[in-house]
Copies of this chain bind each other. A is one copy, B any other.
Amino acid sequence: MRKTSPGSFPVKPRLPEVTLYRLAFYVRVLERLSREGRELVRSEELARLCGVSPAQLRKDLSYLGGFGVRGVGYQVKSLERQLKRILGRDRLWHLALAGINDLGLALLSDRRLSRMGLRFVAAFDWREEWIGRIVQEVYVYSVDQMSYIVRESEVEIGVLTVEEPPAREMARRLSEAGVRAILNLGPEPLEAPEEGIILRNADLTLPFDLLTYALS
């Protein structure tokens, strides 16, 4: 089951990105089922709730090793736990927000994120009037303090919600300060400022385009 690299080191089997994406969906639905007290679920039902085919679901899960019981189905709680572990959702992550605006404020106060183990431990801004304030229980630091605070608070993920400029500059600073990954929720795609840094562009307005296309 486990693939080996040329040098025969065992490597994490490369999941297709789409599979990964679906895994995150499965987790959310499993959480709901779990909340509703369901103990068992069959691939057919879980697939329908997630909007995929049962074969797809079983194939996705089989990449990770069989979690189900033949003739029975999947244990909701156990599957949820396994998938979360694979997605890295079995521990706490420290986040920092770089650049404050409405969307950023909404994220800071979003209970879902902290329930998921994603905690904002700091915010950064370049505007005097924001520095030193506490918003949604998070302290706003000057950008100059970023390097120190990121190291001190063990921030691993930086979050951007602002436009370019200053998005690109903020990304560079975050990367310099030592975060390992950046989530860019701003409107414009950025490139990773440094080799080894993971940067994802996830513009909130993008799905609107898919809708307006479909409606045209």
Contact = CB atoms under 8 A, between A and B. Distances in A.
Interface of A: 17, 20-21, 23-25, 27-29, 32, 48-51, 86-89, 93, 101-103, 105-107, 109-110, 112-113, 116, 118, 156-157, 163-164, 180-181, 183, 185, 187-189, 191, 198, 200-216
Nearest to A157: B211
Given A86-B216, A103-B103, 11 more contacts: A21-B206, A25-B201, A27-B209, A49-B191, A51-B191, A87-B209, A87-B213, A88-B216, A102-B110, A103-B106, A106-B106
Contact of A208 (B17, B50, B183): B183
How many copies are assembled?
2
Given A189-B49, A210-B21, A28 B203 contact: yes
A20 B210 contact: yes
Contacts of A198: 211, 214-215
B24 A209 contact: yes
A201 to B, nearest CB: 8
